[in-house]
Amino acid sequence: MFGIGQLALVSIISHIIFIILAWYVITKAINLEPLLRKGKITEARVLIVFLTIIIGAGVSNFFLQILQWSRQLLFLF
């Protein structure tokens, strides 16, 4: 069973990994140039950072919940 410190470390690492993965996908795989206005570079970068954090944290939370639920299945039997 994970201790509180171990769970916190796994959560931090998971969030960082999924945020980096989301950043890569948003910046490389999706062309956002047609959606952004010219001359609004700073606002576009802030929007991309916020989208990256939202998507990465959401996927990480999903992953951590599945991990927690799979560990709790032991208590079913």
* Domain that includes residue 54, residue range: 10-76
Is position 19 within any domain?
A: yes
Q: What is the pLDDT of residue 2?
A: 62
Is position 43 within any domain?
A: yes
Is position 60 within any domain?
A: yes
Q: Could you give the number of structural domains in the chain?
A: 1
Tell me which amino acid residue 73 is: L
The whole-model pTM stands at 0.81
Q: What is the pLDDT of residue 25?
A: 92
State which H helix or E strand residue 55 sits in: helix 41-72
Is position 2 within any domain?
A: no
Is position 5 within any domain?
A: no
Q: What is the pLDDT of residue 17?
A: 97
Q: Is-contact 64 7, C-beta < 8 A?
A: no
Q: Is-contact 4 29, C-beta < 8 A?
A: no
CA dihedral 1, 13, 24, 60 (to 10 degrees): 40
Q: What is the pLDDT of residues 51-70, one digit of tens each?
A: 999 999 999 999 999 999 99
Is position 4 within any domain?
A: no
